[in-house]
Structure 1
Amino acid sequence: MLTRRGTSVGIGSAVAAGAGRLFGMGELLVLALAGIALISGSVVWTRTRRIRLRIQRSVQPARVHAGGKARVQLVLTNLGGHAPLLQLTDPVTGTLGARLGVGPLLAAERLSTSYLLPTQRRGRLEIGSAEVDVVDPLGLARTRVGEGPRTMLVVYPATQTLAPPRLARGPEPLGLAADVHTLQRIGEDFYALRDYTAGDDVRRIHWPSTARLGRPMVREDEVPRRSRVTVVLDTRSTAFDAGPLIDERFELAVSAAASVVLASATRHDPLRLLTVAGADTGFVTSGEGLAQVFDHLADVSTSAQGSLRSTLAAAAATAVGAVVVVLGGTVFDAARDAEAISAAGSRTSSMTVIRVCRPGDALPAGGPGVVDISTLAELGPKWAAAQTSSQANAVST
């Protein structure tokens, strides 16, 4: 295979040969033959190299938030004889990929090289497979001598540092207790029964009561169950006004949802992610469950399917704790959405609504638990103010 330089020399040789025959100039014919001879020699030289390479790749870290640093580490091991100058190409989704010059390598020599990945936007970056070509000394021809494995980098949404959502104590078992540590000293004696909800430990099902009542019942101990957080993400395409900035507004909504998820995870709350399109992670805690939530946020996109009312009803039906709704600020039917939010809010102990809008948008006035943002930087202070206001209202009532 010819390189760009080799292709240029080949085209020049062909033009020189044509001009030499046309004008009867022997010098041009000699020049053309010299170019063809160089190309032929380079092709033969690269194809006769006996090179065996082993390519290993690692990505650190395998998951990163947008804007974070992720580095690809490549290790090339020469399993054959002396290797001349090599050209390594590592394709990366959505980019031109990485092109690196490597070598020469002695027999059994190992060489490590690395490069940074673009992580400005959330999503998945597929890396590889790496291709290594041997290039002749003149840079006219190349021959592939090795290929490496494929690797995936998951880029999570950008986030802001937030305080965990405020949790009303009323609906929680022993919710009036002011201190978790005090409750832990009480013990784990049997306390009460309640209906089973998604995410409960099946080992706490009280089978005699379940058989008697005909529905799953769960034992409640005096050690309080941690309050739950449900995050509802609006994915309706009508909720984000059409135009060149629709992607930016939806990305802001996803980042706001991810920020709430991350804040809840720092308190080790069982949390659940619902999207209007119908996705439901169920209640998860730390570890792989939390990684699955962020993996979904890395892939989520807008959809023409789904109903905000039914999604909020599902959240309110099993929500014990806080519900946070991330809503597109420009909606097709604002009145119906406000009604759905109000109905769901009346059945939950704590609800906060984050509305994503454009700068200068005049949205209907929201209550103390409504946060309007047009940039991610606004989320932190406005979230803190809304949580403080909601807590003050809860105390006053």
Structure 2
Amino acid sequence: MVVEETQRGRVERVRRRGQVLRRRLSGAAQGVTAQAAERTDGLRSRWGAATAVVSAAAWVLAGAAVVAFLVGWTAGWVELVAVALFIAVLLLVGLPFVLGSHQLESELDLSRDRVVVGERAHGALVLTNTSGRRLLPSVVDLPVGHGRASFELPSLPTGGRHEELFAIPTARRAVLDVGPVTSVRADPLSLLRREQDLTEQELLYVHPRTVRVEGSAAGLIRDLEGNSVRKLTESDVAFHALRDYVPGDDRRHIHWKTSARSGRLMVRQFEETRRSHLLILLSSRVDDYAVDDEFELAISIAGSLGIKVLADGQTLSALTSGQTLRARTSRQMLDQLSGVDYARSADRLSEVSRALSPEHAAASVAVMLGGSLTEVAEFRRARRHLPSDMRVLAIRCVSGGESVVKTMGDLTIVSIADLEELSSLLRRASL
């Protein structure tokens, strides 16, 4: 028995020593790896900078030159060796065009960083030669969204300035990345190309088109403002009844006369009054819209209603099928709508309404927005998930269809084909 315990102790000590040795070896290996990475950082960064100037075509040509030289040298085929040498000369001749760096100072100035779709965003690009020598003619690129504009930069003396004016057309609502302004050095065949960023990237918001909505959201919210609902609260203006005091109640609501008569503390209880709070539910499912124009119309309607509600100092909540929009100011609302896009796997309106937070469910009016492919049954399913005391309006954006207003029980459905008809249709829906 003693021998077995001794053997077990030896085995345990050997196992522990093995674990300690493995930990030490692992730590040493990690330390060596970290030191090697630190020492080779400069080399790797220089190698990356050197290879970044080589285009894909140049790599292909370089590989072809190596193969041609080896085959030509081995087979004694002089023509292949000549081709390899010619390619090598082409690459070597291009090197002087990309060596060095442009000492340029660039200023990118957008006259406005927010425009409405269809407007042009104007800007200016000012380039200054900050080097001590004359700069040769070159090219400066300005990326805009997925596109790129190129400007020919003439030869500039020391301290010379060159200004380029440009206009960005905005055919679609979007959030565009403008810049960075890039100085380009390349050989005549563009086999070698070196780019140098001169400015930071800026954002250009292309807001949706909106229209002025007359009245307090066309009367939809104004009619409910101040009406009491059958929901009890501890503080409001609509008195409901008295009840016994319980620890934690606000003593400011104690009714002292009744308390003196009854011999026990009594507090006031109130009915909650309706606050002006508009909830916008915007479907971003691609299957709900027949054409893109319907989706753009829905976004324009959401923006028009949001601007009106915020201008009246009322509360606004806005949700799409996939996100909650920040809508504390009109600018923030429109900025958010500029970036809204289709979501193929997004929730239906009924699923969005079912998952509302208590804050959103407390809205007085809800407006649901969809396209011509959004079925009426889907609007009704979404309505069933909303509070019964909430007024609900469903708006179907129909391209080339007829604008009509229908009421189906506690749900009003508006079909709209033109944004200019929004005010008149909302007035009819509020009657």
Q: Structure 1 length as normaliser, TM-score?
A: 0.64
Structure 1 pair 231/123, CA: closer, same or farther in 2 (3 Å)?
A: farther
Distance 1:69 1:296 in 2: 20
Moved more, 275-284 or 293-302: 275-284
Cα deviation for residue 102 of structure 1 reads 0.8
Please state if 1:337 is matched with 2:379.
Answer: yes
In structure 1, the partner of 2:260 is none
Structure 1 residue 232 and structure 2 residue 273: aligned? no
Per-residue deviation at 1:130? 2.5
Residues 1:356 and 2:397 are matched in the alignment = yes
Higher deviation after alignment, 83-92 or 156-165: 156-165
1:176-208 deviation per Cα after TM superposition (whole angstroms, max 9, x unaligned): xxxxxxxxxxxxxxxx9349xxxxxxxxxxx75
Is the radius of gyration larger for structure 1 or structure 2?
2
1:149 aligns to 2:200 (yes or no):
yes
Give the one of 398, 417, 420 matched to 1:380.
420
2:316 aligned with 1:272: yes
With over 3 angstroms needed to count, the CA separation of the structure-2 counterparts of 1:324 and 1:162, relative to structure 1, is same
Provide closer, same or farther for how the CA distance between residues 78 and 371 of structure 1 changes in structure 2, counting only shifts above 3 A: same
Matches of 1:154 and 1:317, distance apart in 2? 31
Take 2:354 and 2:336, find their aligned partners in 1: how far apart are those partners?
A: 22
Preserved contact between residue 234 and residue 328 of structure 1 (Cα < 8 Å): no
Aligned counterpart, 1:304: 347
**Which deviates more from structure 2 when the two are superposed, residues 73-82 or residues 116-125?**
116-125
With CA pairs under 8 Å and 6+ residues apart, which has the higher RCO, 1 or 2? Answer: 1
Give, as a single letter, the amino acid of the residue that structure 2 aligns with 1:347.
D
The structure-2 alpha-carbon separation of the partners of 1:299 and 1:5, relative to structure 1 and needing over 3 Å to count, comes to closer
Letter in 2 for 1:297: L
Separation in 2 of the partners of 1:231 and 1:283?
11
Q: Is 2:406–2:414's contact at 8 Å kept on the other side of the alignment?
A: no
Q: Which residue of 2 aligns with 1:199?
A: none
Displacement of 1:107: 0.8
Q: Is the 8 A contact 1:123 1:156 kept in 2?
A: yes
Runs of 5+ unmatched residues, structure 1: 176-191, 196-206
In structure 2, the residue matched to 1:172 is 225
- 1:109 Cα deviation from its structure 2 partner: 1.6
Residues 53, 78 of structure 1: 8 Å contact kept: yes
What is the aligned partner in structure 2 of residue 249 from structure 1?
A: 294
Call closer, same or farther: CA 1:162–1:152 in 2, change over 3 Å. same
Conservation of the 8 A alpha-carbon contact between 1:53 and 1:146: no
- 2:374 is paired with a residue whose SS is coil
How far 1:111 moved relative to its partner? Answer: 1.9
AA aligned opposite 1:252: L
CA distance, structure 1, for counterparts of residue 393 and residue 333 of structure 2: 20
Counterpart CA distance in 2 for 1:345 and 1:389 is 23
Mind listing any 5+ residue stretches in structure 2 that lack a counterpart?
Answer: 1-52, 229-234, 239-249, 255-265
Deviation of the 1:258 alpha carbon = 1.2
CA distance in 2: counterparts of 1:162 and 1:312, whole angstroms: 28
In structure 1, how many angstroms separate the alpha carbons of the residues matched to 2:271 and 2:253?
5
1:293 aligned partner: 333
Taking a change above 3 Å as real, the CA distance of residues 356 and 193 of structure 1, as seen in their structure-2 partners, is same
In structure 1, what residue type is equivalent to 2:312?
H
**Would you tell me which structure has more helix in proportion to its own residues?**
2
User: What is the CA–CA distance in structure 1 between the aligned matches of 2:402 and 2:425, rounded to whole Å?
Assistant: 19
Q: Over residues 283-342 of structure 1, what are the superposed CA-to-partner deviations in whole Å (9 max), with x where a residue is unaligned?
A: 73xxxx2222222222334422633356599656332xx54432334235x336236548
**Displacement, 1:104?**
1.0
- The one of 161, 181, 186 equivalent to 1:110 is 161
Bigger Cα displacement from structure 2, 334-343 vs 68-77: 334-343
The more displaced of 229-238 and 337-346 is: 337-346
Count of residues in Structure 1 that have an aligned counterpart in Structure 2:
338
Cα deviation code 1:206-242 (max 9, x no counterpart) = x755899799999x9xxxx9x845141332628605x
TM superposition shift of 1:82? 0.9
Name the CA distance, whole Å, in 1 between partners of 2:271 and 2:154: 68
Q: TM-score, normalised by structure 2?
A: 0.59
Amino acid in the other structure paired with 2:425: A
2:150 to 86, 96, 99: 99
In 2, the alpha carbon distance for the partners of 1:364 and 1:239 equals 23
